[in-house]
Amino acid sequence: MNRFFAAPLVLALLLGFVALLAMSLGSVSVPAGEVAAIVTAKLMGAVPAADPAITDIIWELRVPRVLLAMTAGAGLALAGVVMQASVQNSLAEPFILGIASGAAVGATLSILFGSAAIGLGVPGCAFLGAIGATAAVLLLAGIGRRVSTVKLVLAGAAISALCTAATNFIVYMAADADGMQSAAFWTMGSLADAKWHSLFLPVLIVTALAIYFLSQLRTLDVLLLGEDLAVTLGIDASRRRRIYMALLALLTGVLVATCGIIGFVGLVVPHLVRAFTGASHKRLLPAALFVGAIFLVVADLLSRVLLSAGDLPIGIITALIGAPLFMKLLFGGGRNFGG
């Protein structure tokens, strides 16, 4: 089992299989072979030998959605791994800094009151809200003296609670029933609006930060072991933590702005992978990227096929899968956290 989780090639093949399955299943089922032929023809610039309606379903709807699920899953898992090492807290995850709650404030304002006057749509307002919340957390945690892991966690909880209250107040005061329903659906996460043009920024950010953090494996290992060791090795832990948190704010803000709020991926996936790979980031981080992508593709597939009338918000699926799994990891034994 250790070799399974440590082998990127095996995980990549599994991800390819799950992605093909996700493209095949849905309200209109398409044989996997036909899906593969359509995708191959499109990539080669040829006209697929298939019904044009089926081609549009696969290429215009399902392929972008699966790619966005893979990107978001890998990005959230990456953020979870880095955050848990940076703050030395095994319960840390991308939303602990209040990023999701800040994004929800911006998105709710945009949905219910419109953002045309300032030239921003829902993703733009959500991104600004996420960045603003993260800046508030870093400012609050840094008041008086250097940032500590405990202060970051507590500041994140405080800002998250404040932003959640603000979102609820905005929804309560609004008189737009359709807007309230749209805001509620967005805050539960959805990949239904995935389009080719919406993939560029998430793919760019996730790819760039994955490459960057793969170059920081030694530093992440040192941060996980504590500030005293970091100082001994000449690493400014506080400065590194600020840099990493700023990058995680950018990463999670982009993903939340694109997909809405999707919880538990950054919390559960690192623990699940760490139980098999151990705590060393050399094996943990690459495996977590693949497992995060697989997890969210499967969750999105379930959100599409469980109801015949429409999609379930993907945040509900990730919570239903992630919460029991996390409880099992939490109470199932010390080895679950790489111990």
Q: Which two tokens stand for residue 110?
A: 């945009």
pTM attached to this predicted model? 0.87
CA separation (Å) from 301 to 55, 179, 207, 228, 305? 19, 26, 23, 45, 6
C-alpha to C-alpha distance for 242 and 248, rounded to whole angstroms: 10
pLDDT for position 3: 53
CA distance 143 to 119: 34
pLDDT at 279: 86
pLDDT < 50 stretches in the chain: 4, 117, 334-339
Asked if 72 contacts 191 with a C-beta cutoff of 8 angstroms, the reply is yes
End-to-end CA distance of the chain: 17
pLDDT of residue 117: 43
Q: What's the DSSP call for residue 48? A: P
Domain annotation for the chain: domains and CATH numbers: 2-337 (1.10.3470.10)
Q: Nearest Cα to 2, choosing from 218, 284, 296?
A: 284
**3-class SS of residue 160:** helix
- Angle, vertex CA 183, rays to CA 114 and CA 174, nearest 5: 60
What count of residues does the chain have?
A: 339
